[in-house]
Amino acid sequence: MGQLLEVERLQVAFRTDQGELISVDEVSFELGAGETIAIVGESGCGKSVTSLSIMGLLGAHGSVKQGDIRFNGETLTDSSKDQLRRLRGSDIAMIFQEPMSSLNPVIPIGEQIEESVRLHLKLPRKEAKALAVEMLGKVGIPRPEAISKEYPHALSGGMRQRVMIAMALVCQPKLLIADEPTTALDVTIQAQILELMKQLQAESGAAILLVTHDLGVVAEMADQVIVMYAGQVVEATDVYTLFRAPQHPYTQALLKSIPRLDEHNRARLPAIPGAVPSLQQMPAGCRFHPRCPAASERCEQEQPQLMSAGEGHRVRCWIAASAEQERVDYAAVEATA
């Protein structure tokens, strides 16, 4: 299966009054057609900035400082605004995290969806309107024809989120970037939306880049998982390995914070102490070490690189890397015994 999206050593910087700040640092991954990669982590870890970089939506103060983003073999980092505009909404679509700030408040929602259809699919107005209404129905909006004539302020947060999803899916993109796609939705509609995304993927072979903090959604949707912390990838592996054998202390802490339906375990959920460091005060060494219960002196002084923790499994941690080296050495001894 070919690689539809390739992100290589991506570094994103923002110009501020305090100088240039690195928000995303050395992020690399590949995503093939029909695959789903989930990027997880706390707020402020760089998940959304990574996805906005792919769309070329970093704003006037943000820029890709180094690295490369390729879509279908075409480099996006050197693309003009017109080239990116042709890709957005057709080949690459995004479900934004804040629907109220992403929808035009003075245009009915049906017309906003129709605009994308007419621009990219070149359909006449009547067919574009019918497709927009059909899509609103598919994402679970009741009375879709009547709702299509409403303005965004007349809808609830959950309804606006579904409108954003309909707008992203209507042109059947090759790559769907979903930034917290089920925020503000109840569990029934959340399941419906996830099923709709799977259906799109099955029908068109679309790739999905899923940005979320909901590990339940990750378990349901993802093939591969990237865990980010303070702008860096700290662990990358397939979804089964991540839940079965997480190696980075941060990943382990995230998984321990998931509520479980276990009558025999009524202890309080463990919390990760502290907070994600600000871009202006990034700690030396491993960026997670101030919050890590297993941190050593080396963790405080030397920044680890992404290292192998098994086949197809990479981790940015001195402790996990040492454990993997011990396993490799032990295996070598057994092989020569």
* pLDDT single digits (tens) 160-195: 888 988 898 888 899 999 998 877 677 877 888 888
Q: How confident is the model at residue 333 (pLDDT cuts 50, 70, 90)?
A: very low
Q: What is each CA distance from 182 to 52, 125, 161, 289, in whole angstroms?
A: 18, 30, 8, 32
288 burial (CB, 10 Å; 0-12 / 13-18 / 19+) is buried
Average pLDDT (290-305) is: 92
pLDDT tens string 104-133: 999 999 999 999 899 898 999 999 999 999
3 state SS of 163: helix
- Regarding predicted confidence, which is higher, 27 or 265? 27
Structure tokens, 51: 């996805």
d(Cα 67, Cα 50) in Å, to the nearest integer? 12
Beta strands in 205-260 (DSSP E): 207-211, 224-229, 232-238
Q: Residue 332 above 60 pLDDT?
A: no
Confidence band of 265 (pLDDT split at 50, 70, 90): low
pLDDT tier at 337, thresholds 50, 70, 90:
very low
The pLDDT-based confidence of 323 (bands split at 50, 70, 90) is: low
SS3 86: helix
- Which of 149-163, 252-266, 280-294, 307-321 comes out lowest in average pLDDT? 252-266
pLDDT > 90 fraction of the chain, expressed in percent and rounded? 53
pLDDT at 89: 83
pLDDT, mean over the chain:
87
Res. 334 pLDDT band, cuts 50 70 90? very low
Angle 238-65-46 from CA coordinates, rounded to 5° = 40
- pLDDT tens figures, 53-88: 999 999 889 999 999 999 998 899 888 888 888 888
How is domain 3-222 classified at the CATH fold level? Rossmann fold (3.40.50)
- pLDDT for 165 equals 86
Q: Which residue has the higher pLDDT, 180 or 337?
A: 180
Q: Which element (helix H / strand E) includes 125?
A: helix 125-138
Express each pLDDT in 203-235 by its tens digit. 888 899 999 988 888 999 999 999 999 999 999
Residue boundaries of the structural domains of the chain: 3-222
Considering Cα of 245, then 250, then 252, then 257, what sign does the dihedral take?
Answer: negative
What whole-number distance in Å separates Cα of residue 221 and Cα of residue 39? Answer: 12
Predicted local confidence at residue 210, as pLDDT: 95
pLDDT at position 328: 46
